[in-house]
A and B are shown apart, each in its own frame.
Chain A
Amino acid sequence: MSFGKLLERLLQLIPVMLGVSAIVFAMILVTPGDPVDIMLGEQNATPEQREALRRDMGLDLSAPERFVHFLGNAATGNFGLSFYHRRPVSEVILERLPATVELTLAALVIGLVLAIPLGVIAAVRSNGWLDRLATVGSLLGVSMPGFWFGLLLMLLFGVWLQWLPISGRSDLAGQVPQVTGFLTVDALLAVNFKAFFSALQHLFLPALTLGLPMAAVLMRVTRASMLEVLRQDYVTFAHAKGLGGRRVLYLHALKNALIPTVTMAALEVGSLLGGSMIVETIFGWPGLGRVVVEAIFTRNYPLIQAAILLYALTYVLVNFAADLLYTTLNPRVRL
């Protein structure tokens, strides 16, 4: 696709991003409680000091003006101070972000690695025992509340079997110098296998909890799509050409069948982002999600709003990337 077209599509994103920001801002406007009061807390402050703070925070301006300020600040990464941490919100977010990204990526990998092969096999051996099992499994996967599943896994593997740790990110984190912020990667880079192993152990259950429901959805999509593709004339024609079964399956069939899977995966990232909050809470995973949940109880609005804005924009970009991917995979849809 030409650069010009790419730019054009990116520009089309802007109204949506603006709209998202507007809604988040609207949430800010509507939050109860006077930010000044919350900031000052117990301190005794004179009315003049309050006024000064009010002006400082731009609370004396009209709503549209505040919105513009908000956008400007957001663009530079300034989301104000976190009430609770007494530090800039952006700082807190950046600190916790890598853990969430690591978790989300791991869940995505688990989801795809499980869903695609299972979906393909289920379609190829349609109505066989594996297919039926997978169908039941995916039905359970979409019906099960994620938090409950996580608790059960914790109970089974952490408490009864005692195979895996149930909280935290690693026992040996201190040993590993921070490079990417991803403990697993950093441990490998530092060639510290014990730390790597520990990080992996801690990552496993949370990632599984987050990724398995997604795998359930994606497996169904892959299976349906694969079944559809296998019925197509071009698959029959490929067989008629005398091509090997494997080649027909992977090159001819799968390439076309994966398109809906990829698109769906991008959509599912949204529920991954939301679900990470729950999973991090259950497993004590020190990521952004857990901070957000804490922030709700401490009424730490700047943090909540910044996080929501960040998550939403990320989701928009991910879907955009998936759209691009779709056009490269499907030659008939060219821009």
Chain B
Amino acid sequence: MTAAATAHSAVAGASQDAESPSRLGWRRFRRNRFAMAASALVLLFVVLAVFAPWIAPQDPNDADLLRRLQPPVWMPGGEWAYPLGCDALGRDLLSRIIYGARISIFIGAAVIVIATGIGIVAGLAAGYFRGWVDAAISRLVDILLAFPYLLFAIGLMATMGPGLQNIVLALAYKEWVIPCRLVRGETLALREIEYVEAARAVGASSGYIMAREILPNILSPVIVVSTIRMAHVIILEASLSFLGIGVQPPTASWGSLVADGRSFIWDAWWISTFSGLAILLLVLAINVASQGLRDAFDPRLHE
């Protein structure tokens, strides 16, 4: 036995919690200060998005050419009413960023929800029924995985045309394979255990088994993975919008805001910088929080 292993086993044996695994997980999560702070930040963004009309200082689409490329408040020429400065059309940057949160978060959430829904259904089917269903779905998954993410989305967008609805679909078309693969793996494992019970409960339909027996057990890792993926999706959407293939004006997600500021990067650096900073902060917060989530609920780390 290695020296460190001795220490470990001695400590592990010392505490025996009788709580349910999920309660235990939440307690661990709460103890992680970084994860808690990150979650608060995510919540802040969501609040900003939901209550944008009440929080934003200005109308995001109110163009005032007199304020064209006005610098942020701490630089000469700035004013408090427009704290982060204005863009090329004189629109308040902060307000645009706040409203942009709506778009970016909505798209991220929509994609994840749709993809997870499809992924769970497909994964359950593939893992439970096996046979040709599994073969077909797994084949499809392999093929979709062969495409680099951004490329596939670009191809789809080129085909379907730009716009908010299409971007959600385009991203979801590839994203579902991730939860699908996970669910399939878990289902395959659980199936062996649950199958015996199912055999005894003769008459229980497959659907029943899948929904009541298997699904609750796979939800936990699926949720953790989905939160991690959400960060990815937000960056992807931003990239697509940056390239101009994503949301179209007048709708503005953070990606398009960064693109707007690109031409003025020399004299009005704040447009791109703060828009991108918003993306960075939200994604960073999601990553830290989901990492904390995973650490708290991962059974392997805490045996």
Contact = CB atoms under 8 A, between A and B. Distances in A.
Interface of A: 15-16, 19-20, 22-24, 27, 30-32, 139-140, 142-148, 151-152, 154-155, 159, 231, 233, 236, 270-271, 273-275, 277-278, 281-282, 292-293, 295-297, 299, 301, 304-305, 308, 311-312, 315-316, 319
A274 B2 contact: no
24 contacts: A15-B139, A16-B146, A19-B146, A20-B146, A27-B155, A32-B161, A139-B287, A139-B288, A146-B235, A148-B258, A159-B265, A159-B266, A233-B2, A270-B147, A271-B149, A273-B148, A274-B148, A277-B150, A277-B154, A278-B150, A278-B239, A296-B157, A297-B244, A308-B155
B276 A277 contact: no
Interface string B106-149: 00000000000000000000000000000000011011101111
B148 A270 contact: yes
B148 A147 contact: no
B151 A311 contact: yes
Contacts of B4: 231
Given A159-B266, A277-B154, A305-B155, A311 B276 contact: no
A278 B288 contact: no
Contacts of B231: 143
Contact of B154 (A32, A233, A282, A296): A296
B88 interface: no
A32 B162 CA distance: 12
For the complex of A and B, the 8 pairs showing the least CB-CB separation, nearest first, are A274-B150, A148-B276, A19-B143, A270-B148, A143-B284, A143-B283, A274-B148, A308-B155
Contact of A27 (B144, B146, B159, B265): B159
Contacts of A299: 158
| Residue among B151, B275, B283 with max Cβ neighbours from chain A (10 Å) | B151
Given A27-B158, A315-B147, 10 more contacts: A19-B139, A23-B147, A143-B231, A146-B235, A147-B255, A148-B279, A274-B150, A308-B154, A308-B155, A311-B151
B143 A23 contact: yes
A312 B151 contact: yes
B65 interface: no
B159 A31 contact: yes
A301 B158 contact: yes
B93 interface: no
A202 B144 CA distance: 35
B219 interface: no
A292 B154 contact: yes
B226 interface: no
Contact of B284 (A15, A140, A315): A140
Contact of B276 (A19, A30, A145): A145
A304 B160 CA distance: 13
A231 B151 contact: no
Given A145-B280, A311-B151, A315-B147, A152 B239 contact: no
A contact face: mostly helix, strand, loop, or mixed: helix
Contacts of A295: 158
B139 A151 contact: no
A155 B123 CA distance: 46
A176 to B, nearest CB: 30
| Residue among B152, B158, B243, B287 with max Cβ neighbours from chain A (10 Å) | B158
Given A143-B231, A308-B155, A152 B273 contact: yes
Nearest to B142: A16
Given A30-B159, A143-B231, A145-B238, A151 B262 contact: yes
B248 to A, nearest CB: 12
A277 B243 CA distance: 9
Contacts of A139: 284, 287-288
B245 interface: yes
Contact of A308 (B143, B151, B272): B151
A301 B245 CA distance: 14
Contacts of A274: 148-151, 154
Nearest to A159: B266
B29 interface: no
Nearest to A267: B145
Nearest to A293: B243
Nearest to A319: B146
Nearest to B285: A143
Nearest to B234: A145
Contacts of A305: 155
B242 A147 contact: yes
Nearest to B232: A142
Contacts of B161: 32
